[in-house]
Amino acid sequence: MKTSDHDNKIPPGPSAPWLGLPLLGEMKNDLLGTAQRMREQYGDVVHFRMASQPYYYFFSPELIRELLVEHADDLIRHERAIEVFSLVYGDNVLTTEGDTWKRQRRILMPGFLPKKITGYVDLMTGAVADAMVTAFPEKGPAGNVLDVDSFTTVLTMDVILRVLFSHKVSEAESQRAFEASRALEHQGMRELFWPKTPPDWFPYPGRKQKLKSKADLENLIGSQVQVRRAAGEDQATKTDYLAMLLSAHDDEAQGASSSPTLSTEEIRDNCMVIFAAGHDTTATVMTWWIGLMAHHPEVAEKVRQEVAEVAGDRNPTADELSRMKWMNATIKEAMRLYPPTPNLFFRCPVRDIEIGGWHVPKGASINVPVWHVQHDARWFPEPESFRPERFMPNAAEIPRGAYMPFGAGPRVCIGQHLATIEMALIATFLIRQFDLSPGDAAGLPSPKIDMVLKPETTLRVKFTRR
Ligand code: HEM
């Protein structure tokens, strides 16, 4: 709806007395449930105020696209979330805005193009093959019950480090990076609800662990960048992402204010964010996918057959992985049910805008509730059922904006092609080698929002070698 029939009118929504503190408390306890109840009660556009700040929720695909695509230039990401993130990961393509973001995205993008990703497949395959040996040392058929999320997190961390640096981390480094990432994630969620993060010298809750975890990650990643920068080696001999960044040149750079190359600090900060954004998200999808396969063995069998038909016993190529339609449909359906980022970063208009005829003032906080749109029966009949058929080529068309695990508009996930190939590769190795069955009597755990959508209780699966 683009007419101005709601012009200057405020959308319906809950009144939020006491500066919105009771509503904030409800959200802190149950963010997904609170938004769901608001949608049921007030419809596709919801507005409320917390303290004096206006908040908007858009639940309709059409309005979300109008917001993220047509109004992309009128929006920045919400300051608090970005502030929390940049305190740890620095100024990078995720945390910057305007011309700085455009320049970083231009320089980073070539390393994420499908052609380039084909070159990372060998690096990724090495990591996945090694993980199969480390996580499952025994050769016999006895089943191993694993905490799936720990397994996928260590695995995807190794994958992204190899794509970045061709580097295989030691077990000790891997454990340190795992603990650091988890600690930073929990701390990030905690600080999101604070109006401001105190300076580092102030003894705020979680500070000591946060600074140690940040230093651990900086050491791991920064040392790689330093060593390669100092070696001054010919980057053409390497096929990893760092080689691309070290030799990258921005042809659109103009004048002294915009350098055509990235500084060492910019490279480190972007490697930090690629590491952070690039492993926990894929780990989460793989965690839920493994859980879903364990609970739907008939679907897993179809995936296994397809893998055998397309790639036989060989390590699959990027092209073969893209041709596994049923496999990719199961991964897409896992991302629909459990989108790793159930809400995009809050958006904030830099000038007054109009969405669907509703006036949204400069400075408002806008939520794009990915989880709710992907669980809406209008676009996905029987939304709680696992039905990969929805994503097969002959399925009914899904409205644009109704499925967006990678976001939409110019700030869509830069790593989406890499993630798609990586997830299909991991899935191929697992489904070939193991029968998956539930490790606990109960069904799949409920989802819980951390920085990404994790299982609320440990998800255990039995891996039985075939
Ligand atoms: C299944 C895996 C993944 C999912 C579901 C995912 C999801 C997302 C989403 C939803 C956004 C946009 C957030 C917003 O608009 O507020 C985003 C941005 C981003 N993602 Fe991913 N992501 C995944 C994998 C990756 C990987 C593998 C990398 C890097 C190797 C990566 C790097 C980034 C970066 C750097 C941004 C910021 C882009 C920008 O602002 O220009 N992501 N991701």
Q: Whose alpha carbon is nearest atom 17 of ligand 1?
A: 413
- Contact (Cβ atoms closer than 8 angstroms) between residue 358 and residue 43: no
Structure tokens at 19: 């500066």
- pLDDT for 38 equals 94
Alpha helices in 44-198 (DSSP H): 61-65, 79-89, 98-108, 114-135, 148-165, 171-192
Q: How many CB atoms lie within 10 A of CB 237?
A: 7
Residues in the chain: 466
- pLDDT for 6 equals 58
- pLDDT for 336 equals 98
| Segments of 191-301 assigned E as strands | none
- The parts of the chain modelled with pLDDT lower than 70 are 1-8, 139-142, 232-237, 254-257
Q: How far is the CA of 406 from the centre of ligand 1 (A)?
A: 6
Rounded CA separation 128/130 (Å): 5
β-bridge pairing 365-367 and 53-58: parallel
- pLDDT for 1 equals 44
- pLDDT for 223 equals 87
- Contact (Cβ atoms closer than 8 angstroms) between residue 409 and residue 68: yes
- pLDDT for 141 equals 63
Atom of ligand 1 nearest to the CA of 77: 16
Hey, which residues does 46 pair with through a beta bridge?
57
Q: How far is the CA of 277 from the centre of ligand 1 (A)?
A: 6
Q: Whose alpha carbon is nearest atom 30 of ligand 1?
A: 278
Interior angle at CA 270, CA 107 and CA 166, nearest 5: 90
β-bridge pairing 447-449 and 453-455: antiparallel
Residues having CB within 6 Å of any atom of ligand 1: 93-94, 105, 160, 273-274, 277-278, 281-282, 285, 340-341, 344-345, 405-407, 411, 413-415, 418-419
Return the closest-CA partner of residue 59 out of 78, 76, 35.
35
Q: Whose alpha carbon is nearest atom 23 of ligand 1?
A: 281
* Domains of the chain with CATH codes: 18-465 (1.10.630.10)
Q: How far is the CA of 250 from the centre of ligand 1 (A)?
A: 22
Atom of ligand 1 nearest to the CA of 407: 10
Rounded CA separation 70/366 (Å): 15
Atom of ligand 1 nearest to the CA of 422: 27
User: DSSP string spanning 170-220?
Assistant: PHHHHHHHHHHHHHHHHHHHHHHTSS-PPPTTS--TTHHHHHHHHHHHHHH
Q: Which residue has the tokens 């409920």?
A: 446
- pLDDT for 2 equals 46
- pLDDT for 237 equals 67
- Contact (Cβ atoms closer than 8 angstroms) between residue 124 and residue 162: yes
If residue 53 lies in a helix (H) or strand (E), which one and from where to where? strand 53-58
- Among 413, 416, 422, say which to mutate for ligand 1: greatest number of ligand atoms within 8 Å of CB: 413
- Contact (Cβ atoms closer than 8 angstroms) between residue 376 and residue 383: yes
Rounded CA separation 459/276 (Å): 22
Q: Whose alpha carbon is nearest atom 13 of ligand 1?
A: 344
Q: How far is the CA of 274 from the centre of ligand 1 (A)?
A: 9
